[in-house]
Amino acid sequence: MTTQMMYDENDTIISSNTTVATNSVTYSEYKNFYENAKFASTVICFPIVCAVGIVGNILILFILPRRCMRSSNTCYLIGIAAADLVLLVVQVPHLIGGIASVKEDRGFITFNSYYQLARYGISNMCITCTGWLTIAVAVERFIVIKRPLNVGQICTVPRARWITAGIFLVSSALYITNFFEFTPNSAAPNGPLMLMTTLGKDDTYNQYIFYMDTLVAAFIPFILLFIFNALLIYHLMRHRHVRRSLSWQYKVQMAKRKKDKDTQHVTLVVIAIIAMFLLSRSLAIYLNILCLVYGRTYAFDTGPQHHLNMGLKYISNLLVNTNASVNFMLYSIISSKFQRIFLESCACEKKKRGYTYTFTENPISSV
């Protein structure tokens, strides 16, 4: 189990024939927890999260590409919004498949056997893209803070575009083999939707993909973002402490410096984005550690707490998709510039005017 969306046969089947003797009351409690977590996350919360996230990310992709928002930082945020949007869109047929009348339709069953394969691979790619693009945002913000005189040479729009494209390409290359781990079952619904291929059964390949997932998609992004967020928070607190210690006249001068105000404002947005990312991945990190220590089979199939862990897996997947849905809200709440352009865009559509909203803010400010 990594931060990735993982395919389970029929997406719900869990072995109840555990080989480990467990207390019947505890086992029953864990099973109830699993069933409640699965129902609450997939039936109640997931449709809301997907609907809000799809609309929010479309609005982000409508606002951020504006000329007045152009910056290297914005390039990464557009990449994150695009990856999040694709991640949420590919979940929609899975939600529709939960409807009994649709689930039993022969045509949908055939479609679903191919769709689940695509969902498995695309979800992994998008989640990894989001993680590393968030790292790119954090690194750039750290450069802006520590090397403000070199920002114009280092943090350029063309470079940000190349880095964003590179992250998408590398993430796709890393997980392209996911599409060859399973094959659609032509006999479905008489049996599972997908059958494991020779590659999917290969122990060496499974070991490689597990450790690669764990490092590239879970531990390395989490550790790097934790460190960078701590540094950004330290800088923000230190900056405010310095401003409080300055004389009143100098504070007035500092308040008039739009560049300084923008830098701190954007830093706050980045801190919020990273904090939400870390929060949404914390449970996945815990499940990763369980798999590293005990093995995935023991953690999710034969172990005494496998129902508990499977329930946590559903919650973890919900948190990952929630993280893909909340960036619009973060921008709207924290970023006054994003708010102004969003409201201006709404006003333009309402009044059918063709003017654009212009700013004279510094090039390092993006939101």
Question: What digits encode the pLDDT tens for the residues 123-147?
Answer: 999 999 999 999 999 999 999 888 8
User: What pLDDT sits at residue 19?
Assistant: 42
Q: Who has greater pLDDT, 206 or 349?
A: 206
Q: Who has greater pLDDT, 204 or 26?
A: 204
Q: How far apart are CA 216 and CA 150, in angstroms?
A: 30
From 13-22, 243-252, 253-262, 279-288, the region with the lowest mean pLDDT: 13-22
User: By CB neighbour count within 10 A (0-12 exposed, 13-18 middle, 19+ buried), where does 57 fall?
Assistant: buried
CA distances in angstroms from 4 to 214, 218, 356, 367, listed in the order given: 9, 9, 40, 29
Q: What is the mean pLDDT of residues 8-35?
A: 59
Whether the predicted pLDDT of 25 surpasses 80: no
Q: How confident is the model at residue 354 (pLDDT cuts 50, 70, 90)?
A: low
Alpha-helix residue ranges (DSSP H) falling in the chain: 24-39, 46-63, 72-89, 92-96, 100-103, 106-146, 151-154, 157-175, 198-201, 203-212, 220-245, 248-256, 258-294, 296-297, 306-323, 327-334, 336-351
pLDDT in tens, 65-85: 888 788 888 899 999 999 999
User: What pLDDT sits at residue 246?
Assistant: 60
pTM summary value? 0.83
Q: How far apart are CA 312 and CA 15, in angstroms?
A: 16
User: What pLDDT sits at residue 327?
Assistant: 85
195 three-state secondary structure: strand
Whether the predicted pLDDT of 22 surpasses 70: no
State the DSSP code for 194: E
Q: Who has greater pLDDT, 304 or 118?
A: 118
User: What pLDDT sits at residue 360?
Assistant: 38
Q: How far apart are CA 229 and CA 270, in angstroms?
A: 8
Following CA atoms 96, 102, 106, 110 in sequence, which dihedral angle do they give, to the nearest 10 degrees?
0
User: What pLDDT sits at residue 258?
Assistant: 52
* Domain extents in the chain: 9-351
CATH of domain 9-351: 1.20.1070.10
